[in-house]
Structure 1
Amino acid sequence: MSAIQKEDLSMNTEAALSPKQQSIGPVAAFAATGDMSGLREALDQGLDTGLTVGDCKEILVQLYAYAGFPRSLNALGELMKVLERRKECGITDQPGSDSGPVPVGDELLAAGTANQTKLVGVPVAGPLFDFAPTIDRYLKTHLFGDIFARTNLDWQSRELATVAALAAMSGAEPQLRSHVAISMNVGLGEHQLRQFIEVLASRVNPDTARRAQAALDAQLAAGKP
């Protein structure tokens, strides 16, 4: 068997993304760009295909770390409207689970640093963080601590949401590529990411899919994961 055939076999045996996983992309992408009409439809589809209310809330709360509080707050407000309308139509959506306890104080910094190292694959350091150590601490304690220590959304789902959000916004290409790499570090394979990009192309827009594809291509060309 040739190397190409082995690679194709590996990709073919990779589990396809579930409808629930696929639905994360449009929700995160439309929320990140403030497209309320698109978000409304994406939330409806996501709830219909297995996202719980808690899943949706967690995706939209996490989004503020990448797209800012205004987009996150507006998206959460839209979710409330969608849930109320669905309730009026007689639809009972699953509430989902709450997160377990999150560390605090010095334990939060330690947990966030460990999460960041595990996600990225190596300890994160560099001139930027020496220049602005405050942002390094925020990343470790808040993003990788407060957020990624929450247990009511798995890391693969969090990374799918992050990739979609960053791909939807222009000017975040370095961070997009970093999170494509992290997605692969947490177990998402090339075939699954290509499938996810197809979802972004068909259900969001071509530009979002193009940016995600470019990030994946660059990651693969570098011989990674």
Structure 2
Amino acid sequence: MSIDELKKGESMSSPSRWSFAIALAVASFTSQATEPQSQRLYPEGSQQHFSGPATYFTGQVDVQMLFPSQDAAPYSGAYVTFAPGARTAWHQHPAGQHMIVTKGTAITVTRPGQVIAFHEGETVWCPEGVDHWHGSMPDSSMTHLVITGSREGQNVVWKEQVSDAQYQAAVKTVTAEQPTLKALGATHQHLATVAALAAAGDQSSLSLALNRALDAGVSVNQLKEALIHLYPYGGFPKSLNALGTLMSVVKVRQSAGKQDKVGDAPKPLPAGDTAQALGTRVQTELVGHPVSGPLFDFAPGINTFLQKHLFGDVFARGVLDHQDREVLTVAMLSVSPETEPQLRAHIGMALNTGLKRDQLQDLSTLVQYSVGSAAGQRIDSALKAALKS
């Protein structure tokens, strides 16, 4: 079976004998001879990358092979990314499979009805011969690393598609297990979800989150401002990409006849030298005292930029108040590893705006289910550290 046939999902005389390259697949990869004393490098992108065929998947699924099966090590590896609501057909693995979530939340269901939701960093082992399916939640994408064993040249046996009713029943079970947010307001929930997904660069999930926010009455200008707010914390590329997604969402909704709330326009930028004076006041108010220290003595220019541009221009634009912006900032920073000092500082600022501990704990839970457990854990750790100080 050629890889081109695999990509197209063309049938064989016995479809259940397909060896698919990942979660689900790899058959067309044959073991490659290597010198026993040598290691082998598989450079990024050197293996096949393709969309899962509609014969075996519902929705958009992208497969990035990492390494093929070998005679001495009969298992293959691949990253598989599911768009929101995407899933596999029913199938089983003759030699089992490990599934390790690297982004988002995955769901997997067995024929007897066992439903497991697992998150970033968590692993599920599916034993040999167990009928199951797996995929993403309806409102967010998911990526998992799959390590799939082979037995007698076969690593998957495909069966019938998962019906919409079967998928929705599993989602309902998972949703029922998720904690209810009681302290964080609805607008903050929508803004934080949008901010976290935009910071993560997950455009497909972001599109759904933007639609839900607009349906709930969040204004177009509030969402614009949230995505503009991303650029100091996530960079221009992510901000611009997210704004492009919002623009597309708004156009589609307008074409469908939906009349979304536009909202207040931002204030003009401060004129002349007033931006730094205004920003210094905002920075002092948020932090609780004038900001100084060895870092700013070493590089005073960075504090000038913080005061003049971030707090003077961005925070002072209106549309969103300081509390809104701290919710956004915490959500955005939580997505990025190695920003713990900044996250802890903004947790303190969020508390200074009047946000409460239980609201920030809700924010942690929300981010965990939007982009992954690691982001939620970063908020939890920063909140504990801020409350101790």
Q: TM-score, normalised by structure 2?
A: 0.52
Q: Which position in structure 2 is the counterpart of 1:143?
A: 310
Q: Which has the higher contact order (CA 8 A, sep 6+)?
A: 1
Question: Given the alignment, which residue of 201, 210, 222 partners 2:377?
Answer: 210
Amino acid at match of 1:203: S
Question: Given the alignment, which residue of 91, 102, 109 partners 2:258?
Answer: 91
- Cα offset for 1:221? 2.4
Tell me if 1:25 matches 2:199: no
Tell me if 1:219 matches 2:372: no
Matches within 5 A, 1:1-225: 16-222=183-389
Moved more, 161-170 or 148-157: 148-157
- Residue 279 of structure 2 contacts residue 312 of structure 2 at CA under 8 Å; is this kept in 1? yes
Amino acid at match of 1:99: P
- Cα offset for 1:93? 0.9
Which structure has the highest strand share of the two?
A: 2
CA distance in 2, matches of 1:37, 1:58: 20
CA distance in 1, matches of 2:183, 2:375: 21
- Cα offset for 1:181? 0.5
Q: TM-score, normalised by structure 1?
A: 0.88
Amino acid at match of 1:52: S
CA distance in 2, matches of 1:124, 1:197: 27
Residue 119 of structure 1 aligns to a residue whose secondary structure is helix
CA distance in 2, matches of 1:136, 1:120: 13
Q: Deviations over 1:60-86 (max 9, x none)?
A: 111100011111011100100111112
CA distance in 2, matches of 1:49, 1:204: 21
Which structure has the highest helix share of the two?
A: 1
CA distance in 2, matches of 1:87, 1:207: 37
- Cα offset for 1:202? 2.4
Gaps of 5+ in 2: 1-181
Equivalent pairs: percent with the same residue?
47
Q: Deviations over 1:184-208 (max 9, x none)?
A: 0000000111112121122332111
| Max Rg structure | 2
Amino acid at match of 1:168: V
- Cα offset for 1:154? 0.9
- Cα offset for 1:16? 2.7
Moved more, 99-108 or 133-142: 99-108
- Cα offset for 1:103? 2.2
